[in-house]
Structure 1
Amino acid sequence: MGKYDELADKIMNLIGGKENVSFFTHCVTRLRFNLKDQSVVDLKEIEQLKGVIGAQWSNGQLQIIIGQTVPDAYRAISERTGLGAQEGTAATAGKDEKKKFHPSMILDGIIGCLTPLIPVMITAGMLKVVVLLGEMSGLLSTESPTHLIFSFVADAGFYFLPVFIGATAARKFGANMGLGMMMGASLLHPNFMQAIADGTALNLFGLPVYPASYASSIFPAILTVYIMSKVEKFFGNYTPAALRTFLQPLLTIIVMIPLSLIVLSPAGAIVGEYFAKVMTWLYETTGFLGIGVLTSILPFVIMTGMHLALNPGSFQMLATLGYDSIVMPTMVLSNLNQGAAALAVAVKTKNKEVRSLAISSAITVIVGGVSEPVMFGINLKYKRPMIAAMVGSFCGGCVAGLFKAHAYAFASMGVFGFPAFIGDNSLSALYAILAGVAVGMIVTFLTGLFIIKAEELVQ
């Protein structure tokens, strides 16, 4: 058996088997299950499994925290149950019993569409940083073919977001993935984009097409594919079986073209625009104190898994404003301060095993930007380190917010995220985040040394 096969079998047994799973995915550190019957889940037993850092319910979703190796656990479960390959298709999602609407379902839908794209966004963001560093160091000329190629590959990660979301939204809502990508791609076709740029008035059946650029957008594709999933299922139920192969997708697209271009995509674009305005308003209204408070309480947001709800805000600000003034700065600051608190534990403890775990988890969060191991394994477990991290995070967040630490790319949430704060010909945002990190980690570490008691640091 593979390393994670036994863990996969035990997890499935403790959640009621694959028949009890209606939706299965994973994020950076967690397995995420939507279950038909939640009463059969033995949460305490799951938490005791070797390889599991923690387990919890969040908005009706079971989250099992694995850490950075979560893709391996996910793959093992997928291979042994077939759930992963069918995730979000009619074979799983389409047969769910109907549930009463709850506002959290909207958030769950958005998160489900965006979570699989986090590696794409991080890679594209870091590649843009590499290009920028090459320019600033003189190693990469803006006139060189290498610069051109690296630049358009990096830009592709953001520009074609509607296509990527078309695929992930189709998987989430139980639609055909190819049709989802087709709807996303239709918003970016060169002819359509050129007509919008030229100011050409487009209409469909005499109805005006809203002149919007959907490059790098998020909400138009999510909204369009969600409605498309309903339309596709409708035609699936009412088209003859012998003709369904071509008639169902054809009728679906014919209906969705006017719905998308005249109603849904424009509505999504407006939602995205105001979403960014709200985020900007919050930042401008609360100022540096708001950044300090959010950085301080972020560990508890992460505990519930709701930190992923912040990602749409980051994506939208990057697409609309060109920078993220809230999510990336607070994430980086919070993670590094969690690491500083664990290092304080390593200094204070007399237990070799606790010291080893504290150091390894501190390295994981500081270098890799993954906070769950240090949070659940050290800081929350002993409580005082978490208090120290919150104090340091508030101080560091205020400093970073005061000097406007804007991130210009979505990147790693650890030290490798620093280059994302380099703007075009400007290092002011980088200096701001470095100042915030320095203040935050120093305050966290010293506070930890002062309040952490060695006798409490036992296995």
Structure 2
Amino acid sequence: MGKYELLAKDIIKNVGGKDNIISLSHCVTRLRFNLKDESLANDQVLKNMDGIITVMHSAGQYQVVIGNHVPQVYEDVCKSAKITSTSSVVKEKKMSFKEKALDLITGIMMPSIALLCACGMLKGLNSILSYMGLYSNADGIYVLFNAIGDSVFYFLPIVLGYNMAKKIDMNPFIGLMIGASLCYPTLNGVDVNLFGYVINATYTSTLLPVILIVAIAKPLETFFNRVIPDMVKTFITPMLVLLISVSLGFVVIGPIANMISNAITATVLYVYQLNPVIAGLLVGGLWQVLIIFGVHIVLVVLCITNIASGTPDPILAFTTFVTFTTTGMVFAIWLKTKDKALKQIALPAWISGIFGVTEPAIYGVLLPRMKQFVLSCFSGALAGAATAIFGLKYHTMAGMGIFEIPALLDPSQPGTSLVRCLIVTVIAFVIGFFVSFITYKDEDISADESQGQISTKNGKEVISSPMTGTLKSLDQVKDAAFAEGALGKGISIIPSEGNVIAPFDCTVIALFPTKHAIGLLSDKGCEVLIHIGMDTVQLEGKYFETYVKQGDKVKKGDLLISFDKEAIVKEGYSLDTPILVTNTKDYLDIVVAKDSNSSINAGEDLIVVL
């Protein structure tokens, strides 16, 4: 198992168990489940898990938003649930036509998106290096890099044929061979006389023909598997399926599919040419809404259709710099807010946004503040308009965020394209930054923050300090179990007084006979351990006095334990007192209200659990 084994097992449990999973795929940031019964999934538990950003119900799928480490989580979920690439299941869940269509598109395209992006980035890099004069387009290294970058687009029918076959539960290698047949050199761009008709078609770098042909092949495979004897059907069925589907596809389905693809491309370009700026405003403004509903894949497919046909795509280009407006807004909020919990969320959100992963920014920062989210859509619209004004288009696929820029480099003028991309990047970031910097206010921070109070808008619960003293970070405690966080996250206090009070309304769930440590369970489910001193268990209760017993319910501020501070120190023991949240894994983060070496009074807010 991998590093996300525990998270994977928790996800499986809370989507209703492995028996509730029909199928599983993933995109760049999300696990995409098809579940038999979505009502068995526990949305709230999943949303509160460390490592999960949010949960979405969209496109007939149950989507668990993870972030940019989703491939590793996906791998561990598959291992834990025993999901394999060849798993075949009966789809019992009823979906609407729209949900089925989106689910099919996702299943076909998502497994290969990363590969398309990787090859596109290589093509962009090749153009830049050639433009810089490191080598010419006649050199062997240019030809080699270009071949690697072009390969996935040229042989796209092979990739999509395999994906399509897997998605509709047929032999994926039949789908692969259908795609390979369509790419065979002597059949493309030449006159082929078939059944008295002369066919001249090109299927390399196409998307729709192979999908439709594999769709026809599925019922053929089902029929032949049913009627052909078991002893020969393993090779007779594929032979007959390929013979019929490829012949029919090459003569009839393929030409029709190419006409449809060309019509889609022409429609997209027509809309763009009507008014590029308005088109940029609309697409840029709606992009984050499409992400929230998980249907942004539709624009990606349109882009791939255009690129594969050799036509630069303007539509997806409008979305490229929305990432930077979002990043700019969250960066401004991070700088401006005094809410420690929000700062903890915003910091990784704007950093990941630079690299194109904006879900943490959207779900963690902007959506909870609807005004900021609406403004982010407005800012994204301006970024889309700027993209149109500078005439930027997608020439290949590429990565996300800063790694998306190579996709916008025109091979005929890569230097000019790069300068324009950098200008629009700055424009987008500055628009987002100033919109939030001017409009954002910490409206939910309490008035007495200066006395150590912190906002609970973004948190689950606040833990007050159980004692008066000086804060000390856990990694400075001379005990490996505490210092390494093995028992939970939190803070240590060097007490200046000898009393321990209840940090919230709670139940005493553990009280050590030696009286040096106490475990508490808050009414909201937070588990806290207060451990007075290091190795003080050896005092066997000497110098300690307890005022509660295990099972007691207590109120915030009630006296729990008192101890003789001076006597314990005189015995040679350290009074470093860790305050730990022992069920840390149930929360997104544990945020301490004050910095180390700060003084704190009993009853002041100490920790917020998110």
TM-score by length of 2: 0.70
**Which has the larger displacement, 99-108 or 215-224?**
99-108
Compared with structure 1, are the counterparts of its residues 133 and 442 closer, same or farther at alpha carbon in structure 2 (3 Å cutoff)?
Answer: same
Q: Partner residue of 2:323?
A: 335
Which one has the bigger helix percentage?
1
Rounded to whole Å, the distance in 2 between the matches of 1:147 and 1:438 is 31
| Contact 1:364-1:371 at 8 Å conserved across structures | yes
Q: Does 1:16 align with 2:11?
A: no
Q: Partner residue of 1:296?
A: 285
Q: CA deviation at 1:321?
A: 4.4
Rounded to whole Å, the distance in 2 between the matches of 1:128 and 1:153 is 8
Rounded to whole Å, the distance in 2 between the matches of 1:209 and 1:230 is 28
Rounded to whole Å, the distance in 2 between the matches of 1:65 and 1:357 is 16
One-letter amino acid of the counterpart of residue 291, structure 1? G
Q: 2:368 aligns with which of 381, 389, 398?
A: 381
Compared with structure 1, are the counterparts of its residues 321 and 251 closer, same or farther at alpha carbon in structure 2 (3 Å cutoff)?
Answer: closer
Rounded to whole Å, the distance in 1 between the matches of 2:18 and 2:214 is 26
Q: CA deviation at 1:415?
A: 1.6
Q: CA deviation at 1:416?
A: 2.3
Residues paired across the two proteins, number: 446
Structure 2 residue matching 1:369: 3-state secondary structure:
coil
**Which has the larger displacement, 37-46 or 334-343?**
37-46
Q: 2:252 aligns with which of 250, 253, 263?
A: 263
| Contact 2:78-2:84 at 8 Å conserved across structures | yes
Q: CA deviation at 1:32?
A: 0.5
Compared with structure 1, are the counterparts of its residues 96 and 209 closer, same or farther at alpha carbon in structure 2 (3 Å cutoff)?
Answer: farther
Q: Does 1:400 align with 2:387?
A: yes
Structure 2 residue matching 1:294: 3-state secondary structure:
helix
Rounded to whole Å, the distance in 2 between the matches of 1:212 and 1:263 is 11
Q: 2:193 aligns with which of 174, 199, 202?
A: 202
Rounded to whole Å, the distance in 1 between the matches of 2:295 and 2:229 is 43
Higher relative CO (CA 8 A, sep ≥ 6), structure 1 or 2? 1
Rounded to whole Å, the distance in 2 between the matches of 1:72 and 1:356 is 24
Q: Partner residue of 1:211?
A: 200
Rounded to whole Å, the distance in 2 between the matches of 1:378 and 1:100 is 32
| Contact 2:265-2:306 at 8 Å conserved across structures | yes
Q: Which 5+ residue runs of structure 2 have no aligned equivalent?
A: 446-454, 459-610
Structure 2 residue matching 1:63: 3-state secondary structure:
strand
Q: Which 5+ residue runs of structure 1 have no aligned equivalent?
A: none
One-letter amino acid of the counterpart of residue 309, structure 2? T
One-letter amino acid of the counterpart of residue 82, structure 2? G
Alignment of 1:216-227 (within 5 A): 216-227=205-216
Compared with structure 1, are the counterparts of its residues 50 and 348 closer, same or farther at alpha carbon in structure 2 (3 Å cutoff)?
Answer: same
Fraction of identical pairs, as percent: 28
Q: Deviations over 1:303-359 (max 9, x none)?
A: 1111111111111121234312111x2232111111011011111111334224312
Q: CA deviation at 1:295?
A: 0.7
**Which has the larger displacement, 336-345 or 231-240?**
231-240
One-letter amino acid of the counterpart of residue 151, structure 1? N
| Contact 2:4-2:76 at 8 Å conserved across structures | yes
Q: Partner residue of 2:6?
A: 6
Q: Deviations over 1:395-438 (max 9, x none)?
A: 22212212311121211231222233221332444444434333
Q: CA deviation at 1:112?
A: 1.4
| Contact 1:22-1:96 at 8 Å conserved across structures | yes
Q: Which of the pair has more CA radius of gyration?
A: 2
Compared with structure 1, are the counterparts of its residues 274 and 45 closer, same or farther at alpha carbon in structure 2 (3 Å cutoff)?
Answer: same
| Contact 1:399-1:432 at 8 Å conserved across structures | no
Q: CA deviation at 1:201?
A: 3.7
Q: CA deviation at 1:230?
A: 2.1
| Contact 2:159-2:179 at 8 Å conserved across structures | yes
| Contact 2:199-2:251 at 8 Å conserved across structures | yes
Q: Does 1:357 align with 2:345?
A: yes
Q: Deviations over 1:167-203 (max 9, x none)?
A: 111111111111111000101112212xx34xx2421
**Which has the larger displacement, 163-172 or 449-458?**
449-458
Which one has the bigger strand percentage?
2
Q: 1:229 aligns with which of 218, 222, 229?
A: 218
Q: Partner residue of 2:497?
A: none
Rounded to whole Å, the distance in 2 between the matches of 1:353 and 1:407 is 39
| Contact 2:213-2:246 at 8 Å conserved across structures | no
Aligned CA-pair RMSD? 2.0
Rounded to whole Å, the distance in 2 between the matches of 1:432 and 1:246 is 55
Q: Partner residue of 2:50?
A: 50
Q: Partner residue of 1:346?
A: 334
Q: Partner residue of 1:418?
A: 405
Q: Partner residue of 2:544?
A: none
Q: Deviations over 1:269-327 (max 9, x none)?
A: 12211111121122122421121121112111001111111111111121234312111
One-letter amino acid of the counterpart of residue 405, structure 1? L
Q: Deviations over 1:188-240 (max 9, x none)?
A: 112212xx34xx2421xx15364221111111111111221222122222222
Q: Partner residue of 2:449?
A: none
Alignment of 1:22-421 (within 5 A): 22-87=22-87, 91-92=88-89, 95-97=90-92, 99=94, 102-193=97-188, 196-197=189-190, 200-203=191-194, 206=195, 208=197, 210-327=199-316, 329-366=317-354, 368-421=355-408
Structure 2 residue matching 1:242: 3-state secondary structure:
helix
**Which has the larger displacement, 315-324 or 152-161?**
315-324
Structure 2 residue matching 1:350: 3-state secondary structure:
coil
Structure 2 residue matching 1:330: 3-state secondary structure:
helix
Rounded to whole Å, the distance in 1 between the matches of 2:85 and 2:378 is 44
Compared with structure 1, are the counterparts of its residues 109 and 125 closer, same or farther at alpha carbon in structure 2 (3 Å cutoff)?
Answer: same
| Contact 1:68-1:370 at 8 Å conserved across structures | yes
Rounded to whole Å, the distance in 1 between the matches of 2:132 and 2:274 is 37
Q: Deviations over 1:376-405 (max 9, x none)?
A: 111112233323322322222212212311
| Contact 1:15-1:40 at 8 Å conserved across structures | yes
Rounded to whole Å, the distance in 2 between the matches of 1:209 and 1:250 is 24
| Contact 2:60-2:100 at 8 Å conserved across structures | no
